[in-house]
Amino acid sequence: MKRYCTDCEMITPSFTSWCSCRESEPGNLSVIFDYGESLGDIEIVRLLRVLRTAAIYEARRKNAKNQYDMILLKVAHNECNEHLKREAVLLSKLAEDRLHPMLPVLLPPYRHAEAAQRPYGKTTFQGETKYYIVYQYAQGDFLRDILIKNPQPWYQHAAWITINLADVVAFIHAKARKLILNLSPDSVLVRFDRDDIPRPLLMDISLNSDPEAVDFASIEKFAPPAYIAPELLRVAPGATFDGRTDVYGLGLILYEMLAGKPAYTFQLRRDEDVRNTVRTEAPPPLNRSDLAGEVSMIVMQAIDKSVARRQEDVRKFAKALREKFGDVPAERKGRRFPRWIAAAVVGGVLALVVWTVIIAALTPPA
């Protein structure tokens, strides 16, 4: 077990009750679980990503047959329980009619519960109440980790990831009338299918908000500072927001993949310094000689500091990208047999051939 500070994003040893940054209140550090530790009836396998509101793990849980099922587990940090509960309730409502393929699938928090009735769970760990969400297991890597290995992926993949994300964001806008407000490469899990097409999952909508009731304090504290829309940092009394704020978030993700670096550098910088840069400076122009100038215009329009100059909504942004990069190919759903079945079939055929040869050799000629 380790501890995590939401103020400086540092992971510290479990025996301390405060962070070396001294900005966090003593005793306010959140638990980060290690391999083999348990949260209720769930066993941790490995840590996948630490977000500002929660940590996401690969984990496992026994089913009714007393066998282990792999799952994904999201555990809220101490100050973010309400964010996680709000996220779980929203995901449950979004799944009532149809499940969007780019949202994680909710599972019951307990073995004998229903996900629709109890979208999140809670338990006590070493005297602390921990709130969590259980998701169906999904393979892939977080986009942040992909960009660490390859800061500038193929532009076609970058566009397809963004188009798919725009589709799920538009779905949330239309069905729940909620804004996401914290889109970033940290919150996107990407799986590549058998045709090497990227299939993203939006794994964090914990700061979702009504356009007329944005919690600016939570946004400033828990949204990644380099990805906060500038209008959320320059709030006028009575301000309301619309889908163009999430256009900005999608534009920043695409800009980073095409430019090979974030629009606003944030590593080894204080959050307030990053926020001041977002308020006052524009990102460098996107110069890609291998792309048409119209592509750069689409991206730079999306991340314009002026809300009025951005695309009208995320669907218009996605449409402009489709015109340049085409639609995302549909995923092939052909039936695939487990390897052991294929091996058994091949082995059976070989055995039949061998047995036929032996019988033929032992049978006397007529």
Cα–Cα distance between 30 and 14 in angstroms, integer?
Answer: 10
Cα–Cα distance between 201 and 188 in angstroms, integer?
Answer: 6
**DSSP three-state, residue 265:** coil
Cα–Cα distance between 14 and 106 in angstroms, integer?
Answer: 30
Q: What is the pLDDT of residue 131?
A: 96
User: Which ranges in the chain are annotated with CATH 1.10.510.10?
Assistant: 141-325
Q: What is the pLDDT of residue 26?
A: 46
Q: What percent of the chain clears pLDDT 70, i.e. is strictly above it?
A: 84
Q: Is the separation of the CB atoms in 132 and 107 below 8 Å?
A: no
145: amino acid identity, one letter: D
Beta bridge partners of 231: none
170's tokens: 């538009």
Residue in the structure block whose two tokens are 């695409």: 254
69: amino acid identity, one letter: D
Cα–Cα distances in Å, from 233 out to 181, 217, 301, 305?
12, 10, 19, 11
Centroid of chain to Cα 177: 20
Cα–Cα distance between 16 and 205 in angstroms, integer?
Answer: 30
148's tokens: 């660490």
- In CATH, what number does 33-136 get? 3.30.200.20
Cα–Cα distance between 166 and 243 in angstroms, integer?
Answer: 11
Cα–Cα distance between 295 and 299 in angstroms, integer?
Answer: 6
Q: Is the separation of the CB atoms in 242 and 313 below 8 Å?
A: yes
Q: Is the separation of the CB atoms in 106 and 75 below 8 Å?
A: no
278's tokens: 């977002």
- In CATH, what number does 141-325 get? 1.10.510.10
Cα–Cα distances in Å, from 7 out to 22, 52, 268, 272?
9, 9, 13, 11
Ranges of the chain with pLDDT below 70? 1-28, 115-116, 236-238, 334-346, 353-354, 357, 360-366
The beta strands (E) that lie in the chain are given as: 2-4, 11-13, 30-32, 38-39, 42-50, 54-62, 68-76, 106-107, 121-125, 128-136, 141-142, 188-192, 198-202
27: amino acid identity, one letter: G
**Residues written for the chain:** 366
Cα–Cα distance between 97 and 321 in angstroms, integer?
Answer: 28
Residue 37: which residues within 8 A CB-CB, separation 6 or more?
1, 43, 44
Give me Rg for the CA atoms of the chain: 24
Q: Is the separation of the CB atoms in 283 and 264 below 8 Å?
A: yes
The beta strands (E) that lie in 305-361 are given as: none
> Could you tell me the pTM of the whole model?
0.85
Q: How many CB atoms lie within 10 A of CB 211?
A: 16
Q: What is the pLDDT of residue 239?
A: 72
Cα–Cα distance between 263 and 227 in angstroms, integer?
Answer: 9
Q: Is the separation of the CB atoms in 239 and 227 below 8 Å?
A: no
Task: Identify the CA nearest to 74 among candidates 126, 28, 30.
Answer: 30
Q: What is the pLDDT of residue 340?
A: 60
Q: Is the separation of the CB atoms in 35 and 46 below 8 Å?
A: yes
Q: What is the pLDDT of residue 114?
A: 73
75's tokens: 């555990």
Residue 149's H or E segment, with its range, is helix 143-149
User: Which ranges in the chain are annotated with CATH 3.30.200.20?
Assistant: 33-136
